[in-house]
Amino acid sequence: MLTRVLVLSALCAAVMFAGCNTTPTQDGAIAGGALGAGAGAIIGHQSGKAGEGALIGAGVGALGGALIGDQVDERKQK
């Protein structure tokens, strides 16, 4: 139950922030965080620690998404 609440909360936050005027870096961080949280929850559930997996996945996903978004941002500025 807690896993579903965490994943649903992450998805709702991503949808709310996606409507704002953001940069590709911010968009990538939001999308990466949401996808990472979902993947982390699924993987963590297998070891009985879905909440921890969701948190770790969100952090890693947000970092990866921000890095990819930053590269997209740099290409747009050229």
Q: 20 and 54 in contact (C-beta within 8 Å)?
A: no
As a whole number, mean pLDDT of residues 17-41 equals 80
Token pair 């699924």 is found at 42
pTM above 0.75, yes or no: no
Whether residue 4 is predicted with pLDDT greater than 80 in this model: the reply is no
Domain boundaries, the chain: 2-77
pLDDT at 43 over 70: yes
Of the pLDDT bands very low, low, confident and very high (cuts 50, 70, 90), residue 18 is: low
Whether 17 shows a pLDDT value over 70: the answer reads: no
Lowest mean pLDDT among 6-10, 26-30, 70-74: 6-10
Residue 41 has pLDDT above 80, yes or no: yes
